[in-house]
A = this chain, B = another copy of it.
Amino acid sequence: MARSVNKVVLIGNLGDDPELRYTGSGTAVCNMSLATNESYTNSDGEEVQQTEWHDVVAWGRLGEVCNEYLERGSQVYFEGKIETNQWEDQDGNTRYSTEVKALEATFLGEGPDGAVPGGGQPAQGQSPAPSQRRAGGQGGASGGGPPSQSGGDGQPGSDETFEPDDDLPF
């Protein structure tokens, strides 16, 4: 049995609007770049701000909901797990990029135009089977991910064709 736990809790602000794509099989993938901030006083007595940038990815319905309700600057709580993807750069070197796969989200600020999701529990997403997971598609956040060719492994124009459901499940 897996005697393991891999859990992440983040509260921060998005550095940019979410980027939604769809995989070839039609699964939504939402990439976000989240900043967490910490400050400390250095030896000269000056306050120094330290920002950590996190690549966050949300799959499926959770990804669509994030894309709809979050935007650059939004404050959000994510719960998820750490995943490191392996890929090859153009020189054939094995490279790694680490991201947080969001499994739950709680929106702490208002969305665009004051829109706010309408109901209950934290948003929860489904994700593809782990085997489907592979490197690619980091929306553009920091973190050393592979080159993000827009719509890389998804269908084109996904963002535009996204139709928000009227009955949000949360």
Contacts and interface: CB of A to CB of B under 8 A. Distances in A.
Contact of A2 (B1, B84, B120, B130): B120
Interface string A53-83: 1100000000000000000000101010111
Contact of A4 (B5, B12, B42): B12
Contacts of A91: 91
Interface stretch (A21-29, A94-102, A148-156, A158-166): A94-102
Given A108-B75, A119-B47, A120-B47, A38 B143 contact: no
A87 to B, nearest CB: 10
A75 B4 CA distance: 9
Interface of A: 1-13, 35-43, 47-50, 52-54, 75, 77, 79, 81-84, 91, 94-98, 100, 106-108, 116-122, 129-131, 142-144, 170
Given A2-B120, A38-B130, A42-B129, 15 more contacts: A1-B107, A2-B37, A2-B39, A3-B106, A4-B11, A4-B35, A4-B38, A5-B11, A6-B12, A38-B120, A48-B130, A48-B131, A82-B98, A82-B100, A96-B97
6 contacts: A1-B170, A2-B120, A3-B13, A11-B108, A77-B77, A84-B143
What are the 9 closest A-B residue pairs judged by CB atoms, nearest first? A39-B120, A96-B144, A98-B98, A4-B36, A5-B11, A1-B117, A6-B36, A2-B37, A7-B9
